[in-house]
Amino acid sequence: MKEILKIQNVVKYYGNGSVVIKALDGISFSVAKGEFVAIMGASGSGKSTLLNVIATIDRASAGEIYIGGKQISAMREEALSAFRRDALGFVFQEYNLLDTLTIGENIALPLYLKKVGHDRAERELQRVAQALDIGDQLQKFPYELSGGQRQRAACARAIITDPSLILADEPTGALDSKNSKGLMQTFQKMHTALGSTLLMVTHDPVVGSYADRLLFLKDGKIWSEVLRGGRSRQEMHREILSVTAALGGEADVY
């Protein structure tokens, strides 16, 4: 299967002089096309730092990162900005929807930023909106929707350009349990029906149980890995709780 993300011996230092923190310590792994991978770990484990360097928001101190075969760790800022726009989709804890635009306009915005024509943008909007069951909300404004609906719109916006990789940082962090379940069902549709490749950071074992594979970080290193195989979500949840306990306690949001 085609490799979408490849990380080789990535290291990230913060600080200078006598106070230096090694946030990532030689991390290596890959993500195949269409795979759904979750990253978990306790506060200070490096999971947010890892997502930031993959998202090109931050730069690794050493090592190589490839997305879609392109080595992003060697790109200059101008090229990175274009790559981020064209090849990556983002779903964050905050919806980041523009209040002055309708839901449909928010979702289609990445296409217009790429100067895609109106007719094509409208076709793509209808495609992703119907796939994620938000087609009847397109004329509304963000304040008229529930938190779960707004997050679903953010998901539609993330996939409308058909990015190589979708990055999700604590996507259920601002949602209650009912809306969290609805969002993860949306992620499943993105993953199974639309073939999206997803990399998600979460502190929630229930949310993590939706993934195909989980990477647990500790002290900037991959400490353990859990594969779904043919197991149910309930079985995955029990395994996640077991690994979390072995890590030394409950994983948290940071």
Residue 198 in domain: yes
- Rounded Cα distance, 4 and 196, in Å: 11
Within a domain: 10:
no
Q: Which CATH number do you get for residue 105? A: 3.40.50.300
Q: Which domain holds residue 231?
A: 34-46+80-247
Higher pLDDT, 114 or 5: 5
74 domain-assigned: no
Residue 185's contacts (CB-CB under 8 Å, 6 or more residues apart) are none
| C-alpha–C-alpha distance, residues 174 and 176, integer Å | 7
The three state secondary structure string of 1-33 is CCEEEEEEEEEEEEEECCEEEEEEEEEEEEEEC
Measured in whole angstroms, the distance separating CA 139 from the mean position of its chain's CA atoms is: 27
Contact criterion met (CB below 8 Å) for 202 and 41: no
In a domain, 17, yes or no: no
Residue 250 scores a pLDDT above 60? no
Residue 41 lies inside a defined structural domain of this protein: yes
Q: What is the pLDDT at residue 249?
A: 59
Mean pLDDT of 106-115: 92
- Residue 22 confidence (pLDDT): 92
* pLDDT over 70 percentage in the chain: 98
Give CA–CA dist 238/245, Å, rounded.
Answer: 11
- What confidence category does residue 40 fall into, taking pLDDT thresholds of 50, 70 and 90? very high
Q: What is the pLDDT of residues 42-61, one digit of tens each?
A: 888 999 999 999 999 899 99
Note whether residue 22 is domain-resident: no
* pLDDT tens-digit map of 150-182: 988 999 999 999 999 999 999 888 888 888 898
CA-based end-to-end distance of the chain = 33
Residue 170 lies in a domain: yes
Total domains, the chain:
1
| Residue 40 placed within a domain | yes
What value does the mean pLDDT of the chain take?
90
Q: How confident is the model at residue 251 (pLDDT cuts 50, 70, 90)?
A: very low
